[in-house]
Amino acid sequence: MHIDKEIDTRGLNCPLPILRAKKALTDMTTGQLLRVVATDPGSLRDFQAFARQTGNELVEQQQLGEEIVHVLRRR
């Protein structure tokens, strides 16, 4: 999977990971992939809701130890 942009939100709590992802997505073009690395356990459901509300596709969510990786495709 080719990731076009990655942001690190480790140590940040809700709503900061979502806000950083939203800002990053505005600079991207349709179809590009954004990878977000987070440590907030609430980010799992937050990114699911964010994808539903914005129309961006949540391609993958993966928990790797304490880190949670979210991959979004820009609408």
First to last CA, the chain: 17
Binned at pLDDT 50, 70 and 90, residue 4 comes out as: very high
**How confident is the model over 49-68, as a mean pLDDT?**
97
* Residue 36 designated active-site: no
pLDDT at 24: 98
pLDDT at 51: 98
- Say how far residue 61 (Cα) sits from the centre of its chain: 9
Rounded to 5 degrees, what are φ and ψ at 68? -120, 125
pLDDT at 58: 98
Which of these is catalytic: 7, 12, 14, 37?
14
- Write the pLDDT tens digit of every residue in 10-54: 999 999 999 999 999 999 999 999 999 999 999 999 999 999 999
